[in-house]
Amino acid sequence: MSTSTATVCRDRNTLFRRVTQPIWLLSIGSLFAGFGVYLLINHLVEPTNFIHCALDDYIPFFADFALVYVFWFAFLPGGFIQMLWHRDDDSPKAHTDFNRFIWLFFVSWGICLVAYVLYPNAIDFRPSPEEIGYDTFCSGGLALTYEGFDLPRNVLPSLHCTSTLAVTLAVLSSDFVKRSPFKALYYTYYILFASMIICSTVLVKQHSIIDCVVSAIELAVLYPLVYCINWAPFKNCVAAIFFRKKKVKA
């Protein structure tokens, strides 16, 4: 067997070994389950609070940003897969980076879902599918999206903004990005597209600017809690309390 053939076989084995780990199925499955819960809440919980501020009236409507808005459905799994792939790197920080990412992502996602149940909210200034029209590819796609599953409900905090910020912060804080020769490319891609996705939420009139601000505040609080505090002493203390061995009497 030639050296090149052996290398290809080894790479294929590495790929198969990584993607068939239970953590892949659990993580990706949890992502889709979280989105499913969001859709259920979106269709079952009737909004009683409407979000709006004066600044929303000055933000123009751009149907062309529908492409960026929908790109979120690729951006999110892409970041997930990237963190999963590098979880098994040789770096001693790889597992820690992944665990922090999971905590940041799902805690922030869960906070959004709880907020939607406790404070059912919506917007009432989004144009209808008829007003958007079907004249162009973007406007037609956006109209179909609004007409189908994306109701103008559960907007505060914005799940689009919250999850985008969580993925971006986690990837750019990871050790594999810091050590990568393509570090500048990673930063450019994630910052550029994260900014565009967040802007698209208000430019297609799916969110109020308030929703985006609240999402930013949420991540500003959660990120240092997850990434800047050493929870090991606390975990050891809890383990010592609940799992300490009982003394056996002589």
Please report the DSSP string for the chain in residue order.
--HHHHHHHHHHHHHHHHHTSHHHHHHHHHHHHHHHHHHHHHHHSPP-EE---GGGGGSPP-GGGHHHHHHHHHHHHHHHHHHHHGGGSSSTTHHHHHHHHHHHHHHHHHHHHHHHHHS-EE-S-SPPHHHH-SSSHHHHHHHHHHHHT--SB--SS-HHHHHHHHHHHHHHHSHHHHH-TTHHHHHHHHHHHHHHHHHHHHHTTSS-HHHHHHHHHHHHHHHHHHHTS--HHHHHHHHHHHSPPPPPP-
- Please give the pLDDT value at position 229: 80
> Residue 153: what are its φ and ψ, rounded to 5°?
-120, 165
| Residue 96, domain extent | 11-242
**Residue 220 domain-assigned?**
yes
- Residue 147's pLDDT is 64
Which is more confidently placed, 45 or 213? Answer: 213
Asked if residue 171 is part of any domain, the answer here is yes
Residue 89 domain-assigned (yes or no)? yes
Cα separation values, 35 from 51, 114, 123, 204, Å? 22, 13, 20, 21
Specify if 117 maps to a domain.
yes
Query: Count of CB atoms within 10 A of residue 143's CB?
Result: 21
pLDDT band at 45 (very low <50, low <70, confident <90, very high): confident
* pLDDT value, residue 244: 59
> Is 3 domain-assigned?
no
What pLDDT does residue 234 have? 66
Query: Domain for residue 182, yes or no?
Result: yes
Mean pLDDT of 3-11: 46
**pTM of the predicted model, to two decimals?**
0.84
pLDDT digits (tens, 9 = 90+) for 135-150: 676 677 676 666 666 7
Q: How far apart are CA 165 and CA 105, in angstroms?
A: 9
User: For position 61, what pLDDT does the model report?
Assistant: 86
Token pair for 244: 């300490």
8 A C-beta contact, residue 105 and residue 163: yes
Question: Mean pLDDT throughout 59-66?
Answer: 85
Residue 126 backbone phi and psi in degrees, to 5: -75, 135
- The pLDDT of 188-213, averaged and rounded, is 94
Angle at 159 between CA 94 and CA 42, to 5 degrees: 130
pLDDT digits (tens, 9 = 90+) for 200-211: 999 988 899 999
Establish if 1 belongs to a structural domain.
Answer: no
Stronger pLDDT, 83 or 23, i.e. the higher one: 83
**Quick check: 20 pLDDT over 90?**
no
Domain total for the chain? 1
Predicted pLDDT at 5: 47
pLDDT of residue 216: 96
Residue 250 maps to a domain: no
